[in-house]
Amino acid sequence: MSSPVVADAATEALAVLADRTYVVLTGAGMSTDSGIPDYRGPGSPQRRPMTYSEFVSGAEARQRYWARSHLGWSRMRRAEPNPGHRAVAALEAAGMVPLLITQNVDGLHEAAGSRAVCALHGRIADVVCLSCREQTSRAALHARLGALNPGWESRHRDVEVRPDGDVDLDDTAGFVVPDCLGCGGVLKPDVVFFGENVPKPRVERCYAAVDALDPSTQALLVLGSSLTVMSGFRFARRAARLGVPLVIVNRGATRADDLTPYRVDMGCSEFLTELSGGAGALTP
């Protein structure tokens, strides 16, 4: 049954959004219903993703990364959009969402039909050469990795998947990592690692969308993000400073809880199903 506190908070948040359009900002909690775990949700084990400086430190670090990521990608690429993703796409199609900012790299918003998307941290389905900057598909690299490392997937069927397409695996010795076919350079997933900066044009696009919000008719809706890292928190902070209503839907506390009275502790799919007019119940 629904908690009265959660139901009241959800009802209030829905009322705020009812007559507004809103920029949407999503985090890992948006994709948990698609089977992709998050880093900071309730019950999530502590994890330490590879940083950019580690990745570029040498071949051994990259071997460790790609050996794990090859396994994780095999599973992540099979993930399907959940009802929350589809609800956001429907809201965009209805003219309610001028921009969707996502911190996720899984591409599920696009798969659900969202088009006005700024993938703040890039997409795990893309690969970039750090030397020539040529971008290629992760699917093509996955095939190369499979050919160079026969049997790797079958020998590691039971490893635990992590949120960024990584897995929990310590022994990566012997895994063969290919170089760029064009120039022989280092290949990296075209996503923003910890320690890297989000490309400036993306940040500027998001700031511009938040700055353009009219406090009387629009809002910023945060879904499934603890806003722990600055890449997302700065937009919530900007909205609050501008007097734009900030609605946060997340399981667990967030860094911006003190910036808004509209804070709902519940799953994204349940809230969005209700927001988009579907037949969903408000369950905590």
Residue 56 has pLDDT above 50, yes or no: yes
β-strand partners of 165: none
- Tell me, yes or no, whether 44 lies in a domain: yes
pTM for this one? 0.90
Looking up residue 164, the CATH number of its domain turns out to be 3.40.50.1220
The parent domain of residue 244 ranges over 4-275
- Tell me, yes or no, whether 100 lies in a domain: yes
Residue-level pLDDT at 1: 39
Q: CA 146, 67, 184 angle in degrees (round to 5)?
A: 75
- Tell me, yes or no, whether 191 lies in a domain: yes
The pLDDT of 210-219, averaged and rounded, is 98
Residue-level pLDDT at 150: 95
- Tell me, yes or no, whether 115 lies in a domain: yes
Domain count, the chain: 1
- Tell me, yes or no, whether 281 lies in a domain: no
Instruction: List the catalytic residue out of 109, 121, 142, 156.
Output: 121
The pLDDT of 34-43, averaged and rounded, is 69
Phi, psi of 207 (to 5 degrees): -60, -40
Residue 41 has pLDDT above 70, yes or no: no
pLDDT, one tens digit per residue, over 113-125 is 999 999 999 999 9
- Tell me, yes or no, whether 107 lies in a domain: yes
- Tell me, yes or no, whether 280 lies in a domain: no
Tell me if residue 121 is catalytic.
Answer: yes
pLDDT, one tens digit per residue, over 109-156 is 999 999 999 999 999 999 999 999 999 999 999 999 999 999 988 887
Q: Pick 88 or 172 by higher pLDDT.
A: 88
- Tell me, yes or no, whether 169 lies in a domain: yes
